[in-house]
Amino acid sequence: MPLIGDFVDLIAPVAPSTPGADVFERFQTEPNTLALAVVDDDGRPLGIIERNAFTLRMAAEFGRALYARKPAESLMDRNAPVAEAATSAEAFFHAYGAAELGALLTGFIVVADGRYVGVGTALQVVQAGAALHRQRAEEMSALARDLALAEAEAVASSRAKSEFLAVMSHEIRTPLNGVLGVAALMDKKLEQEELRPYVRTVIDSGQSLLRLLTDALDMSRASAGMLTLEEEPLDLSAVAFDIDALWRARAEEKALALTIRTDLAVPCVQADGMRLKQLLNNLIGNALKFTLTGEVVALIESHADGEVIFTVDDSGPGVPEAAAATIFDPFNTGKAGREGAGAGLGLAICRQIAERMGGAISLGASPQGGARFQVRLPLRVATENTAPAPAMAEPTPHDTLHVLVVDDNATNRFVAGKLLEMFGCTCEMAENGREAVDAVMARPFDLALMDIKMPVMDGVAATRAIRALPGPAGALPILALTANADERDELDYIAAGMNGVAQKPIQPDALLNAIRMVLAQSQASHVPKAA
């Protein structure tokens, strides 16, 4: 278990009598020093001086005249958090409430037996969070492997295992929301560019953990025969657009050419859009992962009889012949030439989805020199007039909103509040559905962000109660914020009266987009029809 003392900077402290000018000189000559501890003669900390706040004071009008000769003890923050070096990273995060989490980012003191050993800042919070969640990811990988092996021994227990994974996914997503949310906020506001790689490491590690959770849950459902399909008219051109938008930035990061082409004899088919995109995303994500130079080309074809063919080519190393026979097996981590393949669930899930749709997936050699993955699906043609209208309106700008944040988890409320603050919104907090209903009855809001699983009254029950209210309160736009990984639950939330769903961990851009979508929908529903 990582300890918080493992991540502190061993920065020499300053004495209480140190003049402000000397403190300023320290910060000027030590550009990577973000905070200085003030320590007495016995080595006991008295407070902390944070770099940005202090330099701003010195840079202000008459700043040097006011603070250059003042002793450090008059310039320090006496209420800086103090942590024992032997405290585990997990206990460290749990020891501070949501209101104190922001204070940790500006600086905290680490002691051993009451005496100063180092100072921590945002960098150390990020590093500790990354180490903690890497450990969680390893634990979840081992858990997923054990579950899959157990399913072969007892088919009757598969459904119970799927439910267990869903609970685990929810429980891990909840604290991960705090870590990724804070990391995303830091990525948006970070001024020290030398820290950005550390922040991106936390974000990337967190996203890897999320993918692992989703893959493990889907694999468990597939093995238990619970991988359901919801067919609807699907525009294949829209699928190509969404796939390109999702992976374009990743390809550019690796300096790879990404081409998404279509050859459509029929534009619309009957299919489960979510599962079909999941299949394509896994294949393209896999190709981008193993291709170091060159290009990735994806072709979406449809024939007159409704058959759809997905072909993904890459210029990577290909798949050795010895590994080809088992490439679609669960937990095939690519030891035969494809190192770094993670938990080895992505291609296995692709096969499960393809077979569930009555199709098949195959591996071959690509004209680009790497691997070719091809999926053939016998789908039904959907006529153009059955193709659905866009599910959501285009995002629209909004004025300052007053938002009700409903969540029983203090860290989640903190993250949501900071994101809304960044969006230029004001907000109030409620810890359960009952408090939310009372707040909506008492005061007007422009929007509610509603958690699902809460004590006293859950989010679904609270939404139904709000919809039963008379007047504008009953029409309040409600956006669900949920850590539930099953997208099928979204239908229940919409049926209960919610206007949209956003997944946890919350991503700033995704949340803002979801808010704008919900508001645009709400506004459109209130536009009077023309006579």
530 falls within a domain: no
Domain identity same for 373 and 257: yes
Residue 397 placed within a domain: no
Distances in Å between the alpha carbon of 498 and those of 283, 444, 475, 491, 519? 33, 17, 10, 10, 12
End of a domain among 76, 103, 120? 120
Tell whether the model's pLDDT for residue 183 goes beyond 80: no
Q: What pLDDT score does 531 carry?
A: 31
pLDDT at 407 over 80: yes
Q: Let me know whether 373 and 447 are in one domain.
A: no
Verify that 380 and 290 share a domain, yes or no: yes
CATH code, domain with 484: 3.40.50.2300
3-class state of residue 455 by DSSP: coil
Q: CA 505, CA 487: separation in Å to the nearest integer?
A: 14
**Domain's final residue, options 197, 223, 249:** 223
Binned at pLDDT 50, 70 and 90, residue 388 comes out as very low
Task: Give the integer Cα–Cα distance in Å for 395 and 372.
Answer: 37
Across the strands, what pairs with 314? 296
In a domain, 358, yes or no: yes
Query: Residue 144 domain-assigned?
Result: yes
Looking at the fold, whether 277 and 376 belong to one and the same domain comes out as: yes
Domain count along the chain = 4
Clarify whether residues 470 and 372 are in a common domain. Answer: no
The answer to the question of residue 48 being in a domain is: yes
Alpha helices per DSSP H over 30-121? 51-59, 63-67, 89-95, 98-106
Lowest-confidence range among 132-141, 154-163, 220-229, 300-309?
154-163
One domain for residues 262 and 381: yes
Q: Which two tokens stand for residue 451?
A: 């958690």
Name the β-bridge partners of 295. 257
Helix axes 158-189, 410-422, angle to 10 degrees: 40
Question: Are residue 240 and residue 355 in the same domain, yes or no?
Answer: yes
Rounded distance between C-alpha atoms, residue 216 and residue 148, angstroms:
9
User: Is there a domain that residue 267 lies in?
Assistant: yes
In a domain? residue 393: no
pLDDT at 504: 79
Lowest-confidence region among 107-111, 124-128, 187-191, 310-314 = 124-128
Find the largest Cα–Cα distance for the chain.
84
* pLDDT of 217 higher than 80: no
Instruction: Tell me: do 448 and 497 sit in the same domain.
Output: yes
Mean pLDDT of 378-395: 58
Q: Are residues 52 and 139 in the same domain?
A: no
The CA dihedral of 97, 100, 104, 107, to the nearest 10 degrees, is -150
What pLDDT is attached to residue 362?
Answer: 93
**Looking at the structure, do residues 112 and 138 belong to the same domain, yes or no?**
no
270: domain CATH number is 3.30.565.10
Q: How confident is the model at residue 29 (pLDDT cuts 50, 70, 90)?
A: very high
Work out the end-to-end distance of the chain between its first and last CA atoms, rounded to an integer number of angstroms.
Answer: 68
pLDDT at 395: 44
Residue 449 to residue 503: CA distance in whole angstroms: 11
Cis peptide before 472 (omega within 30 of 0): no
Rg (CA), the chain: 27
307 and 350 both lie in a single domain = yes
Burial class (CB in 10 A: 0-12, 13-18, 19+), 15: middle
Residues 317 and 437 in one domain: no
Helix (H, G, I), strand (E, B) or coil at 26: helix
Q: Which of 7-21, 95-109, 219-233, 502-516 has the lowest mean pLDDT?
A: 95-109
Could you list the residue range(s) of the whole structural domain that residue 503 is in?
402-525
pLDDT confidence of residue 164:
64
DSSP 443: S
Q: Which of 82, 97, 120 is at the close of a domain?
A: 120
Range of lowest pLDDT (172-176, 180-184, 375-379, 468-472): 172-176
DSSP string, 392-412: SPPP------EEEEE-S-HHH
pLDDT category at 465 given cuts 50, 70, 90 is very high
The domain that holds 178 is classified in CATH as 1.10.287
Residue 531 within a domain = no
Strand pairing category for 108-112 and 82-84 = parallel
The SS3 of residue 345 is coil
Sheet containing strand 478-482, strands side by side? 426-430, 402-406, 447-451, 478-482, 500-503
Are 422 and 400 within 8 A, CB to CB? no
Contacts of 253 by beta carbon, 8 Å cutoff, 6+ apart: none
